[in-house]
Amino acid sequence: MFVTILGRLQQYSPVSSTCTLKECQKVKKVENTDEIGQIIHRDFLDPFCESYVLVGEGETALGDNYLKFEDEVKKFEMRDSDIIVASYPKAGTTWTQEMVWLIGNDLDFKAAEEHLDKRFPHFELCTIVDFQKMKDTLGATRPEFVGNSLNYIRNQDGVRYIKTHLPYDLLPNQVLTGTKLPRIIYVMRDPKDVCVSYFHHGRLIQGWRADFENFSKVFLSEKIMFGSYWKHVLGFWEQRHKPNILIITYEDMKIDLLGVIRKVAEFLNKELPEEKIPQLLKHLSFESMKNNRAVNQQDKIESRKKHKLVPEDGAFMRSGTSQSYKGEMTEELVSKFDQWSKQYISHSSFANDPTAALYLNSAQKTTKM
Ligand code: PPS
């Protein structure tokens, strides 16, 4: 299998002359021939993720390990009863997962003591890095919900809660064709906050070594892992009228968590036990989640540090605020981000949504949309 994939990779490389045009367009490798490629090769790749490829119509940047699972992902058997939390990385996925899981499980706080990754596994996690190689070289074993997440989910009974960072076009075929109608809750967040949070996450968990300047260059180039922020958001946004899709924002959760909880409960057809709502709000607060080992990813961070895989110390539950980018981005970078956002937003019906204005605050000062 591995040999076949490597063969495909070489075949799809832009310098190859053996593939047909269609095949060549399907998967391209990120080469180190320009500044972005050089940063990626120097600061992002490692023995467990040796190259990035651009996958699908949206040319989403993913580790080459993804290619081993590409067919399995596309042909994955979904169920109408599945509940999916989808997001671009660092948009508030974990917070949304915990909220959705508790609503779906009648606010069973006792059962929520089990690790979130087990209750609400990450669909494509096994594709992100080569876990088999990690095991062979470092002796680092991973449970099935990490190393073979697709299989773990396939074998789950009852309502399956599934996290994914895949863009809409890379979801299983049955979702795209509407053959199966899992409910999808998509959470989005200001891309500037996402970028800052992703930068710290990269150093804390992924082992990426880029400084913030280079990280944001790669983010804006849309060749960061999981690709273009705006293609991701707008891919789901365009599907928002489907009855099985709900879009929420991190910012709304910060301002009116209860309002979002009620919206999600309605979407999932769940009655909320009103007497337990104060406990739910407390459970979902940043302070509680920061200290809750079932959701705060502390075990993952400790394991990365033990195997000396990461350059940074810190917490997954880092700032938990909106607009924390203001402390980390120069005005020039903020303006670059907003100009980039504006290019996407102005060609989309998202421009009419109040969230667009929120995400474009610096561009709006100078330019009319
Ligand atoms: S991941 O790795 O992609 O699944 O990360 P994700 O969960 O999407 O994003 C992590 C950021 O969400 C913040 N977070 C919260 N903010 C407010 N309240 C609560 N309860 C909460 N839980 C998680 C977390 O702190 C990360 O954001 P930053 O800006 O880094 O603090």
Task: Render pLDDT for 153-164 as a digit per residue (tens, 0 to 9).
Answer: 999 999 999 999
Strand partners, 87: 187
Backbone angles phi, psi at 85, to 5 degrees: -105, 115
Task: Select from 13, 4, 132 the least CA-distant residue to 67.
Answer: 4
pLDDT of residue 362: 62
Cα distances (angstroms) measured from residue 46 to each of 79, 92, 96, 365: 36, 27, 31, 42
AA letter at 241: H
User: Judging by beta carbons within 10 Å of its beta carbon (0-12, 13-18, 19+), is residue 213 exposed, middle or buried?
Assistant: exposed
8 Å CB contact between 57 and 169:
yes
Q: Compare 49 and 9 and report the one with higher pLDDT.
A: 49
Instruction: Give yes or no for residue 367 having a pLDDT over 70.
Output: no
Q: Quick one: average pLDDT of 253-266?
A: 98
Q: Quick one: average pLDDT of 17-45?
A: 78
Q: Tokens representing 337?
A: 């981000």
From 132-136, 144-148, 150-154, 286-290, the region with the lowest mean pLDDT: 132-136
pLDDT of residue 210: 97
Going from the Cα of 95 to the center of ligand 1, the distance in angstroms, rounded, reads 6
Going from the Cα of 203 to the center of ligand 1, the distance in angstroms, rounded, reads 15
Percent of the chain with pLDDT strictly greater than 90? 83
Q: Tokens representing 193?
A: 């906050």
Q: Compare 11 and 1 and report the one with higher pLDDT.
A: 11
Cα 192 to Cα 324: distance, rounded to the nearest angstrom: 9
Going from the Cα of 163 to the center of ligand 1, the distance in angstroms, rounded, reads 14
pLDDT of residue 102: 98
pLDDT of residue 363: 55
Catalytic residue among 115, 122, 165, 241: 165
Residue located nearest, by CA, to atom 22 of ligand 1: 95
Strand partners, 54: 28, 61
Q: Quick one: average pLDDT of 169-184?
A: 98
At what angle are helices 331-345 and 191-201 packed, to 10 degrees?
A: 120
8 Å CB contact between 61 and 41:
no
From 102-116, 132-146, 243-257, 334-348, the region with the lowest mean pLDDT: 132-146
Cα 172 to Cα 72: distance, rounded to the nearest angstrom: 9
For residue 73, how far is the Cα from the chain centroid? 16
Residue 116 pLDDT level (bands cut at 50, 70, 90) = very high
Residue 305 pLDDT level (bands cut at 50, 70, 90) = confident
Cα 157 to Cα 240: distance, rounded to the nearest angstrom: 28
Q: Is 115 a catalytic residue?
A: no
8 Å CB contact between 36 and 221:
yes
| Terminal alpha carbon distance of the chain | 50
Residue 187: in which H helix or E strand, if any? Answer: strand 183-188
Cα 79 to Cα 158: distance, rounded to the nearest angstrom: 10
Cα 325 to Cα 369: distance, rounded to the nearest angstrom: 23
Cα 88 to Cα 166: distance, rounded to the nearest angstrom: 8
CB-based pocket (< 6 A), ligand 1: 87, 89-95, 193, 197, 200-201, 284, 286, 289, 317-320, 324
pLDDT of residue 301: 87
- Best probe residue, ligand 1, of 317, 319, 321, 325 (max atoms within 8 Å of C-beta): 317
Residue 313 pLDDT level (bands cut at 50, 70, 90) = confident
Average pLDDT, the chain: 90
Q: The whole model's pTM is what?
A: 0.92
Q: What is the pLDDT of residues 191-242, one digit of tens each?
A: 999 999 999 999 999 999 999 999 999 999 999 999 999 999 999 999 999 9
Going from the Cα of 4 to the center of ligand 1, the distance in angstroms, rounded, reads 38
Residue located nearest, by CA, to atom 16 of ligand 1: 320
At what angle are helices 93-104 and 257-267 packed, to 10 degrees?
A: 50
From 130-134, 177-181, 186-190, the region with the lowest mean pLDDT: 130-134
